[in-house]
Structure 1
Amino acid sequence: MWREIPGSREERARNDEGKRTVPQKGFLLIADITGYTMFLTSSELEHAQGVLDALFKSIFAEIRAPLTLSNLQGDAALAYFPDEHVPQRQFPLDAIERIYCSFANTLAAMRLNTTCSCNACRNMGSLDLKFFLHHGEYAVQTLAGRSELQGPEVIRLHRLMKNSVTKTTGLKAYALVTEPAADAIGLPEFFASAIRHVEHLDEFGDTVCYVYDLAPVFARWRAARRIFVERDEPLAFESMEVDLPVPPAVAWAYVTDIDKKIRWQQGLDAMSMTGLARGRVAQGATQHCAHGKGSTVHEIVDWRPFDYVT
């Protein structure tokens, strides 16, 4: 006779079914493939599925902790991360740009390498990716073994997907950041250079947003020269390696964010950054480390969140 052991995985799954977490505040992110429906309806399904499968894999590969994937909704992926899991202010923007560069690079490689003349391979150039970032309160509920996000702000974010951004700006690949998300990120210099956009939603009224073009982000990513420090090169100080029980994005913040770095790096009196790109740390920024009467200057010559910095 077979009986289930109390506390087994199956029983715990049943007990968790329908449970809702305490509402929490954080970021909500949707990555939405532009041109998805037209691509599917005008292409051979078998080939179209292969193209879309590769593109979705490029998106999912970069939705990593502290981001959590909630679900896939046809042509869009919904992810979230609570405030306490945000490692540094610019992380939401870095995450968006990293996902987009992964998608755009995969698409460019397929277009370059295919010799197929089917409709799917001819039409994949019409595909692109756009993002919607919001900040607010939400709850996570387990339904049918899946974590579903619920709450008015989740609905607001989905409503923003039907917008007039492309019509008014001409942009296909863009990030739309709501004003609450921009305020939570706290980089006024960056958003001052973005396009201010107001979208009227019947249920919520006017929602103020900031929109910026992702095509130049990918162009800079492709053009940037990679500069590695090889293991046999002379070093300014002895190398250090340590395993950390945190996601790469969190470890990245403790290496690149001066407010966090000064907490663990010994022998320093103060740290500061100059040459920021509209308030964000990036290639060309300079880190100044003060120790006693002297100081050390580090210039960032290569910047690849969340892989490496030189």
Structure 2
Amino acid sequence: MMPGRYLPMHDSDRTREGYLVIADIAGYTRFLVGTELEHAQSIVEELTNLIRRRLVPPLRFVKLEGDAVFCYADARTLHEGESLVELLEVCYFEFSNLLFNMERATTCRCAACASIGSLDLKFVAHYGSFVAQRGAGGEDVAGPDVILVHRLLKNTITERTGIGAYVFFTGACMERLPPHFELPKHSENYESFGETSGAVHDLGPVLEQMRQQRREYVSAEGADYEATIEVPYPPPVVWQYVVDPVQRLRWACVLFDKNPDTVARNEHGRAGVGGKVHCNHGPAEAYREVIDWRPFNYFTLRGLAQFRGGFIPARQMVETFELAPRADGGTRLSWRIRFLDRSRFSMLTLKAITLLFRGGVGYGKAKLQAALEEDMAAALGPTS
């Protein structure tokens, strides 16, 4: 299965709901007009290619509009709005890193190469209805909400706030985000649409936080136990099924409890570092805290596992869940555990624990594959 082909096309001209997203390179016109065209266009092309690679999948590419990348996602393929926030944050992080590396690596003295640092990135995200159409040029979407999201690119956010890199989430999109994810309010007025309210997510502080965040990672070499599951879907799609407590219920062990994990979000109202998770489903009752969070790549938890029956003492451990992309577009999902207590007795208990874990891994692999296939099939809708 090739990357970007995990979800076949929907029926043409079928109305659906979902996210409409435009990523727009800020400063593009000034950059293009004031520099050597050939070099400037080459730079912009490299940047837009990166944006497309980072957004698709789980978003679906519609078209390139000059310096802007237009995408959408059916609501049934992007289960929760927070995954969209993380996707756009990671895209900006990698965009900024590419800009930095391009500036540092260039030896060209032309105006275009000297002005790379003047470029930035902004996003507009809306949730609404649209019709997908397939024409000679590929897939396109149409409808009033599609017109609105394009109108929103012409806004007064930078003028009124001084923020250059941002995501403008419309009110309809904010309703799909975590309720405690609070952002500064903003509104714009457009002919035929009137006032459109939403909120602005400043990406500048996000970039600094991601660059400064300490890495906590259990490698394959440093793990006391490792289990892997391979599925033919890319990491940004599989990520939702690993971190969303409701989606995890569809494939992880539910032998002792069929309710979702209890999750406490961090001080910013987000999933991520500082968040806490209580799991009561498997052979151990586990209390965990998120200590590293790299969306679509890996996350690490530190916590205490109390095994049922009392025959194994409570163990403190660090766990890393890693989603590694495969060459065929699929994902290798790895779960690695390292005990914090390195005593001989602690290591002896590992043998008993691994026997409990192995049965759950085989169960989970089949169930995860089935859940992914079920959702992809549901997103297709009727075929006649």
Distance 1:292 1:222, change over 3 A: closer
Which residue, 76, 79, 83 being the options, matches 2:71?
A: 79
Partner of 2:180: 189
CA gap 1:268/1:186 in 2 versus in 1, 3 angstroms: farther
Amino acid at match of 1:244: V
Q: Percent identical across equivalent pairs? A: 37
1:113 aligns with 2:105: yes
The corresponding residue for 1:209 is: 198
Mapped contact 1:87–1:249 kept (Cα < 8 A): no
1:126 maps to which residue?
A: 118
- Count matched residues: 288
Deviation at 1:260, TM superposition (A): 2.0
CA–CA distance in 2 between the matches of 1:58 and 1:225? Answer: 25
- In structure 2, the partner of 1:57 is 49
Q: Distance in 2 between matches of 1:168 and 1:292?
A: 52
Q: Quote the residue 1:13 is aligned against.
A: none
Give the whole-Å Cα distance in 1 for the aligned partners of 2:282 and 2:142: 53
Match of 1:47 in 2: 39
Displacement after TM superposition at 1:293 (Å): 11
1:87-98 mapped onto 2 (5 Å cutoff): 87-98=79-90
Contact 2:55 2:88 (C-alpha < 8 Å) held by counterparts: no
Q: CA deviation at 1:291?
A: 5.4
What amino acid sits opposite 1:297 in the alignment?
A: Y
| Residue in 1 that maps onto 2:360 | none
Corresponding letter in the other structure for 1:197:
H
**Partner of 1:227 in structure 2?**
216
Counterpart among 297, 300, 315 of residue 307 in structure 1: 297
The aligned amino acid for 2:179 is P
Contact 2:61 2:71 in 1 (8 A): yes
The alignment partner of 1:84 has SS state of: coil
Between the aligned partners of 1:303 and 1:136, the Cα distance in structure 2 is 30
CA separation in 1, counterparts of 2:196 and 2:237?
Answer: 31
Question: Is structure 2 residue 268 aligned with structure 1 residue 281?
Answer: no
* Unaligned ranges ≥5, structure 1: 1-15
Question: Residue in 1 aligned with 2:241?
Answer: 254
Give 4+ residue runs of structure 1 displaced > 6 Å after superposition. Answer: none
For 1:173 and 1:116, the matched residues in 2 are separated by 26
Give the secondary-structure state (helix, strand or coil) at the position aligned to 1:197: strand
Looking at structure 1, the residues matched to 199 and 220 of structure 2 have their Cα atoms a distance apart, in angstroms, of 43
Contact 1:59 1:103 in 2 (8 A): yes
Give the aligned residue type for 2:160.
Answer: T
Q: CA deviation at 1:161?
A: 0.8
Bigger mean CA deviation after superposition, 123-132 or 286-295: 286-295
For the residues of structure 1 that align with 2:281 and 2:137, how far apart are their CA atoms?
53
Indicate how the Cα distance of structure 1 residues 32 and 292 shifts in structure 2: closer, same or farther if over 3 A, else same.
Answer: closer
Contact 1:33–1:129 (CA under 8 A) maintained in structure 2 = yes
The residue matched to 2:56 in structure 1 has which SS?
coil
Q: How does 1:1-40 map to 2 (within 5 A)?
A: 20-40=12-32
Q: CA RMSD in A?
A: 2.0
- Name the aligned partner's letter for residue 152 of structure 2: L
Q: Does 1:244 align with 2:234?
A: no
Cα distance change on mapping 1:53 and 1:186 into 2, 3 Å: closer
Q: Report the counterpart of residue 320 of structure 2 in structure 1.
A: none
Separation in 2, partners of 1:62, 1:113: 22
SS in 1 for 2:109: coil
Give the SS at the match of 1:218: helix
Code of the residue aligned with 1:242 in structure 2: it is I
Residue pair 1:268, 1:289 contacting (<8 A) in 2 also: no
Q: Which amino acid aligns with 1:198?
A: S
Letter of the 2:214 partner, please give it: R
SS in 2 for 1:242: strand
Q: Residues of 2 paired with 1:143 and 1:265: CA distance?
A: 41
Q: Is the 8 A contact 1:87 1:250 kept in 2?
A: no
State the secondary structure of the residue aligned to 1:103.
helix
Greater alpha carbon shift after TM alignment, 29-38 vs 140-149: 140-149
**Gap change, CA 1:292 and 1:123, over 3 Å in 2:** closer
Q: CA separation of 1:117/1:279 partners in 2, compared to 1, >3 Å: closer, same or farther?
A: same
TM-score by length of 1: 0.87
CA shift in 2, pair 1:89/1:103, >3 Å: same
